[in-house]
């Protein structure tokens, strides 16, 4: 039960070196809106770290529950309640993430009033491509958020079931199967969101390079390679963690309460 890397960091760090003007150009206005939107999503890295920590705690509790016999029902209930409390914290974090995304979208949407004032048809075309890509990204995040909420709801149902003294093994197995399928859906949604983010990042860089703004892409080649490698490593770790948790759930369904 792991949350994927929902928000990808920008490949490049950007600095606007153009001199300040009382009346900024359309390109500069675009830059300001786009980078403000990035800032509004800037807390995602910290949120992901919090989620991983909470998920590890929950996994440890789940494994403790599976090791306990039915005669230790009071302890099972206590640990299940602790796990549900952690689930609530995870819900709060992903809700905060969604609120940040929504605020970033509001800022991003301000660029629509600027597109028609861009200096060239090429810039207008690239800006429209970028807008479409970002809107696809926001739609992908809506699906990502929805699937994760569904998975958390099923997790909570599982812990409530584990507190039942007359729980039947077939019911537990059926719930575990639902959870595994829900996280499979989440994994697909996460991959789609990451692809949408990558496409948008590429189009944004292309747009910036087509403007006459003095934007510096810091350590462009090395930074891109380093970021790509880090993203690949994190995604691989994420896949491994999800596999471990799926196996954990399957093991849980084979445990007999005695």
Residue 221, in any domain of the structure? no
35 to 98, 119, 122: CA distances (angstroms)? 18, 20, 21
Total count of residues recorded for the chain: 258
Please give the Cα distance from 81 to 85 (Å, whole number).
Answer: 6
**Top-confidence range, 5-9, 13-17, 55-59:** 55-59
Residue 73, in any domain of the structure? yes
* Residue 17, pLDDT above cutoff 90: no
pLDDT at 14: 39
Give how far the C-alpha of residue 71 lies from the chain's centroid of Cα atoms, to the nearest Å: 40
**pTM (predicted TM-score):** 0.78
Instruction: Tell me if 119 sits within 8 A of 178, measured CB to CB.
Output: no
Crossing angle of the two packed helices 220-254 and 44-67, in degrees rounded to 10: 20
Residue 13, in any domain of the structure? no
Please give the Cα distance from 180 to 168 (Å, whole number).
Answer: 19
Q: Which of the pair, 32 or 252, is modelled with greater confidence?
A: 32
What range does the domain containing 188 cover? 25-212
Residue 234, in any domain of the structure? no
Of the ranges 34-38, 87-91, 210-214, which one carries the lowest mean pLDDT score?
210-214
Instruction: Name the domain count of the chain.
Output: 1
State the average pLDDT over residues 185-194: 94
pLDDT at 228: 42
Q: Which of the pair, 248 or 68, is modelled with greater confidence?
A: 68
Mean pLDDT, the chain, integer: 81
**At 61, which CATH number?**
1.20.120.570
């Amino acid at each position: 039960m792991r949350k994927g890397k929902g928000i990808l960091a920008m490949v490049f760090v950007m600095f606007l070196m153009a001199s300040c003007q009382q009346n900024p150009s359309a390109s500069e206005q675009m830059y300001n809106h786009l980078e403000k939107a990035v800032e509004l999503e800037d807390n995602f890295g910290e949120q992901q770290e919090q989620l991983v920590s909470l998920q590890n705690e929950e996994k440890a509790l789940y494994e403790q529950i599976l090791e306990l016999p039915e005669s230790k029902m009071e302890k099972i209930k206590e640990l299940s309640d602790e796990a549900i409390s952690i689930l609530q914290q995870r819900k709060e974090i992903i809700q905060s993430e969604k609120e940040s995304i929504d605020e970033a979208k509001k800022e991003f949407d301000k660029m629509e009033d600027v597109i028609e004032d861009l200096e060239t048809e090429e810039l207008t075309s690239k800006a429209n491509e970028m807008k479409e890509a970002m809107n696809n990204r926001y739609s992908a995040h809506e699906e990502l958020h929805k699937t994760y909420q569904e998975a958390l709801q099923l997790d909570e149902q599982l812990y409530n079931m584990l507190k039942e003294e007359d729980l039947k093994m077939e019911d537990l197995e059926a719930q575990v199967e639902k959870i595994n399928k829900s996280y499979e859906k989440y994994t697909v949604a996460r991959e789609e969101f990451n692809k949408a983010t990558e496409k948008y990042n590429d189009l944004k860089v292309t747009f910036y390079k087509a403007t006459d703004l003095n934007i510096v892409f810091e350590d462009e080649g090395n930074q891109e390679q380093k970021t790509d490698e880090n993203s690949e490593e994190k995604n691989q770790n994420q896949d491994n963690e999800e596999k471990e948790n799926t196996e954990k759930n399957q093991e849980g369904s084979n445990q007999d309460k005695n």
